Structure formats: C-alpha cells, structure tokens
Structure 1
C-alpha cells in the first residue's frame, strides 16, 4: 500500500451500549492505540429518548443522530447493544437505525458493525435471520480463519477473541449468500467476522473494544440488574472462576491488530477517493 498522507480521519459511532461513558472510553482507547489522527463523534438515536429526559451523560458526550452530519465522515461504527434477544421490530428506534443504514450504504464507504450492530445490518442489507442461542456465548475463545482478509493481517489461526451475546445470525444463510463471506468463526462455528464481498462492510461479532475487565463488568451488570437469576460466568477468562479474580486480557493483541487494520483500510480508501477527485478536477 502506498504511503498514506492523512491529516485527520473522521469517524462516527452510534453508541447503543447501556454503559455509555465506559463504551466511549473503550473506543477512545482503541483508536488511540492505532496511532492515527482520528476525530470521533458519538451519536445516540433520538427515538430512544422520546417522551423522557435525555440523561446528562448522553447530552454532554454524544450528539443526536442527524443523517446530514454523516456525509463528511470517513467511517462509521454501529456498536453492540444488550437487546439481541428482542425482535428487531420491538426496538423502539429500529426505523431510525434502518434509515441510518440506508444512508451509510450510499454516503459512507467504510462501515463496521459490532455485535447487535452486525445483526441488524446483516438483516437489513441481506435478509439474514437472527436466532437466539440455547445459552449465552460468553467468554474468550480460539478463532478459526476460513477466508483471507486484510482486517486479519497479522493474526494467525487460533487467535483469541472475546464474545458476549445471546443471539447469532444464521450461518447457513450467510454462506449461501454470494455477496457475503464468513472470514472467521470460533472453533464451534460461532461467528467472529463476516464481510461483504463488494463493499467495505465488516460485521464483527466480538466485543474487541472491551478492555481487560469488560467481560467481568458485563457479568456484574447483568447479575446486579436481576439478582434473582443465576447468570453464566465468562469462560476461559478468570484465573479463579469461583472468586471472579484474575481477569486475563487474552484478546488484547487481536483488538490492536484488528482495529489498526480497519483504520488503515479507512485511510487507504480516503486516499483513493481524494486522488480520484483531484484527478477529475485537473481533467475538467
């Protein structure tokens, strides 16, 4: 790849996580680690707060989703959300998300959809169905690579990634769709990464943005919200599962490699678009 001369890359993130500030901190650290000059704008769906007051932490750190603000962005991410057990039609802001997906498809060339973001995007663009898992996929697992991808350059088969979800997209439907390719899965065929073949769309089913204690905090959030339920503990994560101590950051390298590769792709595409427009101006 030729040298990339970029002053600043502009990203937008629709932050749907319940722990908004912590999620912002996660993504800020992720992109700081890439070493690239990046400006991130965080958005929230307006429909999520209809008829109720917008929390101060949201108003002070995020912007309402306005599609006309997005055309100048170089890339966009839709985060995960702890709503994967709900039907898409039950989500109060689903039409707002679908309008966003339509806009991104036309105006923003680099799209990354994480966990629930990947589910709703695969369903919207390609009609892939969501299925509830018999038990939560929760922990750190080895991944198998089935297709080469620039996003996985620097990773070898068996690389580790964290997973935390109650639902999965239909693998058979994805494999049967000639516009999609399954890039990597867990050893038990749970999705890690799906890519569109002819668009810069990546569907990541791992919370790679989580820091070392991300899985622990998710477990604690669920347990405290519903103390009457005995929740599954994340697997292959604690040094001592009984006491929930000794969290192990086994996916750190994967996180750094993946997001660095994605940002290189964003920068490369920005360079290509800039050179194309400059060439056209000279011709005209």
Structure 2
C-alpha cells in the first residue's frame, strides 16, 4: 500500500467503525453487565448478583420449554422452507423442456416467480392479521370453513388452531414458511441462472431425468446458497417474537398455557411486564450465545469443497 493510503483508509473507516462500536457493540456489553445484576429496568440503583440470574434461568421451566420450542422451529423451519424453495426454483428455471430440446422452466415460470415472492413484500404485522383470519377459532375462519365444507369437522366443534397445544406451533411454522419460501426461491433462482445451460443439456442427452439433474447438478452447485439460507432461517427460528406475540394468547404471546413460548417472548415478558430486567438480560445473553453457536455449527456442518464450473 502506498504511503499516505493508510491514513486515507483509516479516516474513511473511522466514523463507520465508531458508529458500529457505539450502537452495536456497546449495547451488547451493557446487556452482559446488566445480566449480572438485579436491575429492575427503571431504577438506576442495582446490586451485583453474579451468576444468580443464569442459575435461576436454567431452573425456569417456562424458559426451558421455550428453548425446546425454538429448537423445534430451528429444525423444521429451515428444512421445510429450503426444500420447498429449491423445488420451486428448480421447476421455474430448469424443470421444463423447450420445444427445441433445450432446458427451460415450466410454462408460466415468470408469473410463478411473482406469485411466490408476493408474501415477502408483506410485513409480519400484516401476516399476523391475515393468518389471524385464516386460523379463526369459529367457522368464519378460512381454514375451519374449508374443513367444514369438506365435512371434516362439525360446525359445533371447530378447531381452535391457535389455542390447541398440539396445533399452535405448527400453525406458526406454516406462517413463517409461507412468508419465506418466495425470498429463497428468488435467491436460488439467481444462483441457478449462473449455471451454464450446457451442463443441463448434456445431462438430458445422457438420459438424466429431473430428479437426477436436481441431485447431481443443481444441488451441488447451489450448496453455498443453501448454506447461507440455512444460517438466516436459523436466526429467524431463534427469534419468532413478532408472530408469537401478536398471534397467540397471553401477555406478549406464548399461549395457550406457554405451549407457544419462545425465548424472545419470555425475555420481553420478564423485561416489560414483571420488571425483572437483569434476569431478562441474562436470557438475551443466552439467546446471543445460542444463535452464534447455531450459526457456527451450521456453517461447519454444511461446509463442502467448492465446485467450479
């Protein structure tokens, strides 16, 4: 680097780095500090309690149940979303065959891309209202109304989707998957368009079917994009606060009877409702550590040798 360029680069980066330290790193440090105290949130007087908050945290059945729910989200949301997005992306990019014998998407693929991506433009607040109507606990709800028309339920006993312990987590997962498939379809489609068509055409000449083309060509060449999607969806699964707090019963969500609790809803309830802010900060630190661990493990577990084409 030439003489004087160090000063230029340092001066150019000074303000962004300073802002990052002040508005990102410092709040993390504060949260870790508060997690070691009995801070009540509003009062500026608090005492140092060491690791007492963390000891109490792992004896809290509600929080431990919330951790289990987040683990379920972490397993099912990325798997279902990525599988659906990969399937749809493959079909709209390489799932059809043109009349000339080449490779093309299914008929109407451009229209399908718009339709699949549409949920992504809706905010989570709008999704909560929309699916609140879908999951209504009377026969006026879309899902119950459909099941009633099919004769699968009795009008006197509609299913309370968001108040049934056996259904509530799956109902929330369905919303997240419906919202996310379109975005990852576009992500995978962009990666697929960089794959030379000659590779697919050579496979077709050799007699490969759609399934063989997908598993032998598409998936290996898209592995970096799949890895990235898995990390982002894992972060989404570790949060879930907006949907759970707005769609389920209870203060800041989590109902019925804590069957849809997540770590974020338990944390916010303790911080804002019970006034146990130091305890809530300990939950935030645990969430941070778990999210980092999940990201690192996912990146290492899905690491493969880069394929060149």
Q: Establish whether TM, by shorter chain, passes 0.5.
A: no
For Structure 1 versus Structure 2, the TM-score category normalised by the shorter chain is: under 0.3
Say which structure is richer in strand.
Answer: 1
Give the TM-score of the pair, scaled to structure 1. Answer: 0.24
Give the TM-score of the pair, scaled to structure 2. Answer: 0.23
